[in-house]
């Protein structure tokens, strides 16, 4: 950990784009991942934890503890994930060597609370799955908002269409009650919604660059993306994919800058109406260039300074080809 | 009525922009307004009817019948209108000569049903207020969808922010239950939401052109717009105004063309959650250029071919200066 790096707690439902976000976070020079919790979303919390451990071993980062998080959302039952997006095993059918490391003895929510106390005022929380664990941690430690440095959430759709309903995005829709608690807590939140993640598209040449890498982490990510691209071909009309979770990681790290990101009031629709799971962001200031809103604490990223995909690919190749080519090859031969 | 003109039933809550829409419709060469119903919205149904009658007299169109419509929405009570937007009298405090004509003996919903039978297959319905009367007419005549030619609604917010809540537009929010019935009825609907009406802005030079007219209708509209502009200065940061209702009129007439207007499934949020009154339009086809959606019947106008304001001003000046300068001067001196 250099003097300029920040401790990160990552909460994820690994997932293909979660895998990319994790790899990006490992590669980011200013991020120090000190703990990872899993949550049901793209896959079950257990499968997400399995994938996370295996990816960490492939990347040679077996020192990072992984905690199992909530299987069910706060209300209702886990719906079974999205195998049509991420594959039955959550990582597009790619078979990774099973990690030798096991799960932490604490839950994901307990880990987050512990890390918040261990890194008071400096821990960055990056949540790229449903917000069940974060809501649980707020219940365990009501002072959590004062303890952490920042909270970045991949989730929601502000002015863009939803992806799981006309107006709801999957992470939020999978646990609207948890998301409502997290957005209402006394901390500043950066929301990275579909508005920008659907505009951050990885194309086939990017995927080929990962596949052609000498390092196994980019190779594996390129293989997973083959599955992901096939799903997104039905959305975009060509093989490519949105980059939801990695973009949130890059914004949390500070490597990518928002061009439009008003701080507004935001709530989550927890009704049983057609808006269930919608992030209701009050963007009525649009026409006056988003004047400041007193008491607002949710920064909604609506546009980026530059295209994200090249930065993502360069960061992954630059880091893993430099550090893990030999290690990871050995790992995949094990 | 020329061979190329279409009979119109106008349902309105007059209202400054309703006044502009009414004047536009009278001026449009291909529209023949055969009846007008009022509904509570910007003002009460009674005040809206009063303003409509007075405007018709100012314009020399006293032959058009005006029917009083619903005072209360289908559920709940009329909330008292929006005097901060439209003024206490609904037309920015402008005093018009009280019309000598009285109200029709039928209700607005009854008028719509009668006209649909009188003009089978050709009546165009233009609704620029809450949809209470249209829902009532559907109850009175379940065959209404088969009888009318088209339904155009100023209402909703698709990808744009709402104006009465973060996600709801006022016309729909004022009677979500009615709007839900109207969008679910077996007819094709064109929805003209805030996405385009907030992008159709009348500026101060446009208002000055109306004020400088030799005809009293444009003059009166220019005066009303002074009040409207002051409200919208708080939205846009400069004196100007959105053109909600006149744009819907121009699209219904066919004088303005949509550049982006996918036909999608649309529902109205009638829950008591934060999305109440939202038009939930399924625009997830955005990323593939909106491929056709089987069974969808709601055309949502998202972008226009050209700027609307110049067309509006030219149409109003061209018509009223040509036809009503003498008449209206006499009227305003009465």
Average pLDDT over residues A264-287: 98
Q: Tell me which chain B residues have a C-beta less than 8 angstroms from the C-beta of A271.
A: 269, 271-275
Provide, rounded to the nearest whole percent, the portion of chain A with pLDDT above 90: 95
Determine the pLDDT at residue A107: 98
User: CATH code at A207?
Assistant: 3.90.245.10
**Is residue A228 domain-resident?**
yes
Give the pLDDT band (50/70/90) at residue A323: confident
* pLDDT computed for residue A4 by the predictor: 78
Q: How would you list the strands of the sheet with A150-154, edge to edge?
A: A66-67, A31-38, A6-12, A124-127, A150-154, A189-192, A298-300, A263-264
What are the residues whose beta carbons fall under 8 Å from the beta carbon of A80, sequence distance 6 or more? none
DSSP state of A107: B
CA-nearest residue of chain B to A201? B287
- The answer to whether the beta carbons of residues B19 and B42 sit under 8 Å apart is no
pLDDT digits (tens, 9 = 90+) for A14-42: 999 999 999 999 999 999 999 999 999 99
Whether A325 has a pLDDT exceeding 90, the answer reads no
pLDDT, tens digit, 9 for 90 and up, residues A110-166:
999 999 999 999 999 999 999 999 999 999 999 999 999 999 999 999 999 999 999
Residue A334 has pLDDT above 50, yes or no: no
The neighbour count for residue B150, using CB atoms within 10 Å, is 18
CB contact under 8 A, B275 and A280: yes
Longest CA–CA separation in chain A, Å: 59
Say what the pLDDT of residue B323 is: 76
* pLDDT value for B325: 52
* Residues of B designated as active site: 244
Q: How far apart are CA A131 and CA A147, in angstroms?
A: 18
Give the model's pLDDT for residue A324.
60
Residue B334 has pLDDT above 50, yes or no: no
Interface touch A270/B273, C-beta < 8 Å: yes
- pLDDT by residue (tens digit) across A192-248? 999 999 999 999 999 999 999 999 999 999 999 999 999 999 999 999 999 999 999
Q: What is the nearest CA distance from B63 to chain A, expressed in angstroms?
A: 41
Residues 6+ apart with CB under 8 A from A322: none
**Which residues in B have their CB inside 8 Å of a CB on A?**
159-163, 165-167, 198, 235-237, 265, 267, 269-276, 278, 280-284, 286-289
Question: What are the tens digits of pLDDT across the range A55-99?
Answer: 999 999 999 999 999 999 999 999 999 999 999 999 999 999 999
Could you give the ipTM of this predicted complex? 0.92
In a domain, B91, yes or no: yes
pLDDT for res B190: 98
Taking CA–CA distances from A233, the nearest residue in chain B reads B288
Evaluate the omega torsion of the peptide bond into residue A141 and state whether it is cis, within 30 degrees of 0.
Answer: no
* Count of the separate structural domains present in chain B: 1
pLDDT category at B324 given cuts 50, 70, 90 is low
Is the model's pTM score more than 0.90?
Answer: yes
**Terminal C-alpha separation, chain B:** 29
Contacts of B229 (CB under 8 A, 6+ apart): B204, B207, B239, B240, B241
Q: Which of A160, A275, A283 sits opposite B269 (nearest CB)?
A: A275
| pLDDT tens digit sequence for B220-277 | 999 999 999 999 999 999 999 999 999 999 999 999 999 999 999 999 999 999 999 9
Is it the case that residue B327 has pLDDT exceeding 70?
A: no
Domain containing A166 equals: 8-333
Q: Do A274 and B271 touch (CB under 8 A)?
A: yes
Is residue B1 assigned to a domain? no
Tens of pLDDT, residue by residue over B147-190, are 999 999 999 999 999 999 999 999 999 999 999 999 999 999 99
Provide the annotated active-site residues of A. 244
Percent of chain B with pLDDT over 90: 95
Helices (H), A28-107: 45-59, 83-86
pLDDT tens by residue, B261-320: 999 999 999 999 999 999 999 999 999 999 999 999 999 999 999 999 999 999 999 999
- Please say if the pLDDT value at position B211 is more than 50: yes
pLDDT at B102 over 50: yes
pLDDT in the model for residue A1 = 42
Kindly give, in sequence order, each residue whose CB lies less than 8 Å from that of residue A61, ignoring residues fewer than 6 positions away. A26, A33
Which is it for strands B150-154 and B189-192: parallel, antiparallel or unpaired? parallel
- Work out the minimum CA distance from A265 to partner chain B, whole angstroms: 9
With respect to residue A245, please indicate whether it lies within any of the assigned structural domains.
yes
Which residue in chain A has the smallest CA separation from B167? A280
């Amino acid at each position: 950990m250099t003097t300029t790096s920040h401790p990160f707690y990552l909460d994820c439902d690994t997932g293909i784009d979660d895998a990319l976000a994790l790899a990006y976070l490992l590669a980011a020079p200013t991020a120090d991942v000190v703990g990872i919790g899993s949550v049901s979303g793209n896959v079950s919390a257990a499968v997400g934890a399995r994938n996370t451990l295996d990816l960490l071993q492939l990347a040679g980062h077996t020192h990072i503890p992984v905690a199992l998080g909530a299987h069910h959302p706060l209300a209702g039952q886990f719906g079974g994930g999205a195998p049509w997006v991420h594959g039955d095993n959550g990582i597009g059918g790619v078979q990774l060597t099973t990690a030798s490391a096991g799960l932490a003895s604490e839950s994901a929510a307990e880990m987050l609370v512990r890390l918040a106390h261990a890194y008071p005022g400096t821990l960055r929380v990056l949540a790229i799955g449903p917000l069940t664990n974060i809501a649980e941690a707020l219940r365990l430690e009501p002072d959590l908002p004062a303890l952490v440095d920042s909270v970045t959430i991949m989730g929601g759709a502000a002015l863009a269409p939803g992806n799981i309903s006309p107006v709801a995005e999957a992470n939020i829709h999978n646990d609207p009650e948890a998301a409502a608690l997290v957005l209402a807590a006394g901390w500043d939140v950066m929301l990275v919604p579909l508005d920008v993640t659907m505009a951050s598209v990885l194309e086939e040449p990017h995927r080929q660059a990962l596949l052609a890498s000498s390092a196994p982490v980019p190779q594996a990510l390129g293989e997973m993306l083959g599955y992901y691209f096939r799903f997104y071909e039905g959305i975009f009309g060509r093989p490519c994919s949105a980059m939801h979770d990695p973009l949130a990681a890059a914004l949390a790290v500070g490597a990518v800058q928002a061009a439009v990101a008003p701080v507004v009031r935001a709530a989550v629709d927890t009704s049983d109406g057609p808006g269930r799971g919608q992030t209701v962001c009050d963007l009525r200031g649009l026409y006056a260039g988003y004047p400041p809103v007193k008491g607002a604490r949710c920064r909604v990223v609506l546009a980026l300074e530059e295209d994200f995909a090249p930065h993502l690919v360069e960061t992954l190749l630059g880091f893993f080809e430099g550090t893990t080519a030999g290690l990871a090859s050995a790992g995949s031969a094990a």
